[in-house]
Amino acid sequence: MLTSLFTDHYELTMLQATLASGAAQRPSVFEAFARRLPDGRRYGVVAGTGRLLEGLANFRFEDEQLKFLADHKVVNKQTLNYLENFKFSGNITGYQEGELYFPNSPILTVESTFAEACVIETFVLSVLNHDSAIASAASRMIAAAGDRPCIEMGSRRTHEEAAVASARAATIAGFDSTSNLEAGARYGIPTVGTSAHSFTLLHETERAAFQAQVEALGVDTTLLVDTYDVENGVRTAVEVAGPELGAVRLDSGDLVQQATWVRELLDDLGNWNTKITVTSDLDEYAIAALASAPVDSYGVGTALVTGSGHPTASMVYKLVARQEASGTWVPVAKVAANKASTGGRKQGFRQLNERNRAINELVVLGERQPAERERALTLPLVTAGEIDQQYTGASGVQLARQRHYESIQEMPGIARRLQRGEPVIPTEIVNE
């Protein structure tokens, strides 16, 4: 699918004006970053980079897109001629997907002509802001869940494409599976599914519904036991499926109390290996509250795909340097109140102590190699228009998932706490 019209009108307004003025080809450096984390959050998670690179490969203007722009008089003929041959040919560096970020981390840096960097701005931000918000929420949920697996099941609570992106972002942050089949097909994410209350209500009796599901899917399926009376549901499920019943799902009521006595009932009935999965509008706080309950897995929907109260990462994309006619690079920065930025090309480093625990996010103006006990965070993603394919597709998701796991392990233990607080490590901006 072409991605070129996933942009704002004003990007092309600026393009047309700079083509007219002669500034469109001026070498420029743009940076995507977040001035602050969502209120009370201790870290953010970079997500969407792989999707961004996949979309960048399809960011071009063909006859249909050009006709739309012409028919609606969005741009003039000169601009249409430019867009007809558009292909991003610059360099992009940034944090690896799955990496943690903090206020003012240089998450993504785009070096190209002003025209090329300007045209892709909206697409860059829409992908990074959405996916990073979902991954950041998912990471907190995984921290609360401990060793218990989490299932992403929010497709019915968001846009159909956002559902796929959310499943992908949740997987990067540690979710084990998704209910979304398109996410499974595109990115190799394991898919799972049980049944809805409508399935039980369709049948004359709960027993008939359970029998139909077991006959079709086997005894290791998961039966939804709270359509009517939970105790009767559990007993009926065991009678139908026997001791090898895979799991029962609880989707309502006081889940802590309910899971406790359902576990006791299953054990009394001889179903020691039957697991309990819980759903019902879970977020990281509800998951934490269930830590002492005999729950085996969590299904998370609405809170996940809406960023658990923070549906955007609030990243911005700013020009930080431009090249003069003389060839000299000049740092530039916005100075407006509460929206100031720092000019100049930057690199990110994670400073570590002797136990390889993170102690500081170092943002360096200029370029240098990592010093002792520093880990370089800024990596090449696109070089002269050529995309590094290792970060895309299903393999890219797994690479990002591993990066996230390692980055979390690197953090002080306080990073896993759900209590509101300051970023788990400070950010320091230095001029080399």
| Residue range 136-184, pLDDT digits in tens | 999 999 999 999 999 999 999 999 999 999 999 999 999 999 999 999 9
This prediction has a pTM of 0.95
Quick check: is 423 in a domain?
Answer: yes
Residues 111 and 156 in one domain: no
- On whether the CB atoms of residues 144 and 173 are closer than 8 A, the answer is no
C-alpha neighbours within 13 Å on the C-beta side of residue 48: 29
What angle separates helix 393-410 from helix 160-173, to the nearest 10 degrees?
50
Spell out the long-range contacts of 212-219 with Cβ–Cβ below 8 A and sequence spacing 24 or more. Answer: 214/240, 214/241, 219/244, 219/245, 219/246
Determine, yes or no, domain membership for 140.
no
For Cα atoms 3, 176, 400, give the angle at the middle one, nearest 5 degrees: 50
Q: Tell me: the pLDDT tens digits for 281-332?
A: 999 999 999 999 999 999 999 999 999 999 999 999 999 999 998 989 999 9
Q: Is pLDDT at 276 greater than 80 in this prediction?
A: yes
- 247 shares its domain with 178: yes
Same domain (yes/no): 65, 158: no
Domain edge (last residue) among 238, 273, 304: 304
| Tens-digit pLDDT profile for residues 95-128 | 999 999 999 999 999 999 999 999 999 999 999 9
> Residue 387 belongs to a domain with what CATH number?
3.20.140.10
Beta strands in 271-426 (DSSP E): 275-278, 297-300, 315-323, 329-331, 346-352, 358-365, 374-376, 378-383, 386-387
pLDDT at 242: 97
304, 334, 364: which is the final residue of a domain?
304
Q: Which residues fall within 8 angstroms of residue 119, CB to CB, at 6 or more apart? A: 4, 7, 11, 12, 15, 59, 83, 86
Closest CA to 121 of 186, 28, 45, 44: 28
Q: 391: domain range?
A: 9-134+310-431
Query: Is residue 281 assigned to a domain?
Result: yes
232, part of any domain = yes
In-domain check, residue 52: yes
Domain assignment present for residue 1? The answer is no
Q: Do 125 and 151 share a domain, yes or no?
A: no
> What pLDDT score was predicted for residue 76?
97
pLDDT at res. 325: 87
Q: Rounded CA gap, 114 and 30, in Å? A: 9
Q: According to DSSP H, which parts of 146-244 are helical?
A: 160-173, 181-187, 197-202, 206-217, 230-241
pLDDT in tens, 59-98: 999 999 999 999 999 999 999 999 999 999 999 999 999 9
Task: Please tell me whether residues 267 and 164 are part of one structural domain.
Answer: yes
Q: Which of these, 348, 424, 427, 429, lies nearest to 139 by C-alpha position? A: 424
Residue length of the chain: 432
Number of Cβ within a 10 Å radius of residue 430: 11
Q: How far apart are CA 246 and CA 41, in angstroms?
A: 37
334 and 299, same structural domain?
no
Residue 4 lies in a domain: no
My answer on whether 291 and 188 are in the same domain is yes
380 and 256 co-located in one domain: no
Please identify which residue in the block is written with the tokens 């792989």: 50
Check whether residue 111 and residue 50 sit in a common domain: yes
pLDDT score of 336: 73
Domain count, the chain: 2
Mean pLDDT of 380-407: 98
Task: Give yes or no for residue 340 having a pLDDT over 90.
Answer: no
pLDDT in tens, 220-262: 999 999 999 999 999 999 999 999 999 999 999 899 999 999 9
In a domain, 139, yes or no: no
Q: Answer for the pair 225, 251: CB distance below 8 angstroms, yes or no.
A: no
In this structure, the answer to whether residues 202 and 220 fall within a common structural domain is yes
CA neighbor of 234 nearest in space, from 262, 210, 255: 262
Same domain, 50 and 151: no
Task: Work out the mean pLDDT of the chain and round it to a whole number.
Answer: 96
Q: Binning pLDDT at 50, 70 and 90, where does residue 393 land? A: very high
Q: Which of 304, 329, 355 is the last residue of a domain?
A: 304
Helical pair 160-173 and 49-57, crossing angle rounded to 10 deg: 130
152 and 285 fall within a common domain: yes
In CATH, what number is assigned to the domain containing residue 153?
Answer: 3.20.20.70
